Amino acid sequence: MKSFSSIVIILGSMLFISCQAQQEKVNYFANNAFGNPVVGNTAEYYKGVTYVAYQGEHLDPYVAAYDHKKDQWTGPYKAGTNLLGELLPDKVDSHGKPTLVVDGEGYIHLVFGGHGGTPEMGKNPLGNHHAGKQIHVKSKKPLDISQWEEVDNITPFGTYSQFFKMDNGDIYLIFRHGAHRSNWVYQVSRDNCRTFSPKVSFLKAKPVATRPDGTEDWDSWYPDFRKGRGNDIIMVYNYHFCKGGAERHDGERHHGYYMRFDTDNKTWYNVKGEELQIPVTKEYADSMTLVVHTGDRWNHIGHTCLNHDDHPHVSWYEGDYDGSKHGGLKQLVNYRWTGEEWIGGKTNLPVEARGEMKVTSPDSIQYLLGDSEGKNGELAWWLSTDGGRDFIKKEVLVEETGGRFTTSQFIRNAHPDARIVATQKIKGTNYSKVYLVGDNASIVRAKSDADILNIEELKK
């Protein structure tokens, strides 16, 4: 028979091992992100806390919060129900992943769930239907992510929803007003998202040809937005040739365009400062806002930002430079406005890498890119000092076993310890780990708290 002291030692050892396991730290803060889980404006730093939204189980929106002073995580909490989740398990539809903003009173708002709405919701006056419903929810209390309520003040016909907060406190909601064949619109709230102004179309979708079988081909658009100086919103976009008929429809996209929205006077401008008439059509975009005509090469929209001269830099991902439109969406290209012309082109950045751009001068360009290195995924800075022709890899912020990282936009009003949200797919599943990454590394969390799902069980 074991002595009493031996039993105490054994129990103490078991308790110590258990405590060690409880305190094991990991670089991610949640493992229940689902599909393509993070949209551009998905997080904000506000009064000492970074709030992060992402698409979780059944495509529903989840919100977590990190208190920087207390070094403490809260959540994630489910913030609503995404009707697109009804498509599971047959299809993963990530068009309705959540966008987040904190209003001037400290309430947290999400918009999520849209992929154009359905005919049962009524006629879409600015586009076509598909699935889901664009939904607005608000935290029941300021700075509290534990309880949420739905706010019925936006259209159900939306997708790719994005919040932007201006220096003057105005909050803009930008989205495509339906499925592929729909206008892009904006609305503004000046009362902390209680009400929104009428929708204004700024990019126009329209039919361009009718085929013998009665199906139509359309002009359509894929834009990407960033907050510019002061109360400006800047935008880079590409053209989607939307083919009629399910057997013909694909992701064909071409060309790069740029324009700027001065929200103070509600006027859009091209890079030369010429006022634009909205909504912009394909023909008008070609004559007034074109950066580069890509010819037969397909592309996929990237990013834009301003340098210290307020001249824009733009980027996107383009197919192989062999003239083949089916070369794949592989290489990141970079262009900048000199004040007189757009210059730039192909870079030596890793093929298929994705991430964010930061510019400190016309010649100094940095990308924070998610990429693969052998069996590891990594998030690293790449620097060019020659205007974007040649880049070298600098600091690696996160390196984890698994696939390539994807990222949000840089976090609104970011804390140095939390600049960006990154995700990494978990092999064998449709789930991803979610990371909050700062200037030097990701913010860690206890593994017991971060592992919301039992991934091994999901793989069975």
Catalytic residue list: 95, 160
* CA 339/CA 186 separation, integer angstroms: 28
Q: Which tokens in the block code for residue 404?
A: 């390539």
Contact predicate 159/179, CB 8 Å: yes
What is the largest distance, in Å, between two alpha-carbon atoms of the chain?
91
Contact predicate 291/303, CB 8 Å: no
**Cis peptide bond prior to 89, omega within 30° of 0:** yes
Handedness of CA 334, 397, 54, 100 (dihedral sign): negative
**How far, in whole angstroms, is CA 434 from its chain's centroid?**
13
Q: Which tokens in the block code for residue 346?
A: 């192909």
* CA 62/CA 359 separation, integer angstroms: 32
Contact predicate 158/112, CB 8 Å: no
Radius of gyration of the chain measured on its C-alpha atoms: 23
Residue 410's beta-bridge partner residues?
420
What is the Cβ-side half-sphere exposure of residue 136, based on CA atoms within 13 angstroms? 20
Instruction: Return the number of other C-beta atoms located less than 10 Å from residue 225's C-beta.
Output: 23
**How far, in whole angstroms, is CA 283 from its chain's centroid?**
28
Cα dist from 278 to 183, 260, 323, 340, whole Å: 11, 12, 33, 24
DSSP 88: T
Report the relative pairing of strands 216-227 and 206-210 from DSSP bridges: antiparallel
